Amino acid sequence: MGMEGSVARWYEKITRKDMDGFRETAERLKAVLPEGGDLLEVAPGPGFLAIELARDARFRVTGLDISRTFVDLARKNAAEAGVAVDFRRGNASQMPFAENRFDLLVCRAAFKNFSEPEKAIAEMRRVLRPGGTGVIIDLRRDVPMTDIKRHVDRMQLSTLDQFFTAMTFRFMLLKRAYTKPELERMLTGFQKAEVRINEIGMEAWLEK
């Protein structure tokens, strides 16, 4: 399910406030990427993380999103940032890439929205090179609403956006999110799969 139109544009406005978070994630990912490596972001949305990664010219960055609006926004954002990212439209459970194509794959804040999560994981495994790393970063369904509120407060949004963001977490995002054991059960066929808990979510680190 992709976000389109005004919903996608609202999401872009809200996530733009978290640039420090995107930079911090980009630094951690670059630490495991080989020089000249190929990176795929699955469901990059407005593209902020992919763009941060592409600021480092040593890496080739590709983004795949099902939403036309997001692909357009991401291309525009990359052009404004003066970086090269190959943003294209496509489905996470049927990726338009050859196998063993990427050294690193990241999926941030999107996995819970996939209609075919097991297929998406099989595709992630297929397009990764042997020895490559996959990282899934997402919410945990059992995170307390007080932690969500603290996270939203730190984003320094207007009162209205703060309200809508908290409601979006509570009634949409958390309902779709997985718990750690649920995610762990889906991560089959990798050499290594470790799920780490963080503030309001979790990260799965996978090795093919």
pLDDT score recorded for residue 144:
93
Per residue in 182-207, pLDDT (tens digit) is 999 999 999 999 999 998 999 999 99
What's 111's DSSP letter? G
The model carries a pTM of 0.93
Residues of the chain with pLDDT under 50: none
pLDDT score recorded for residue 103:
98
pLDDT score recorded for residue 99:
98
Per residue in 93-120, pLDDT (tens digit) is 999 999 999 999 999 999 999 999 999 9
Strands (E), 47-200: 60-65, 86-89, 102-108, 128-139, 192-197
What's 34's DSSP letter? P
pLDDT score recorded for residue 146:
93
Backbone dihedral region for residue 194 (phi beyond 0: left; psi -120 to 50: alpha; all else: beta): beta
pLDDT score recorded for residue 1:
56
Closest residue by Cα to residue 183 from 174, 175, 195? 195
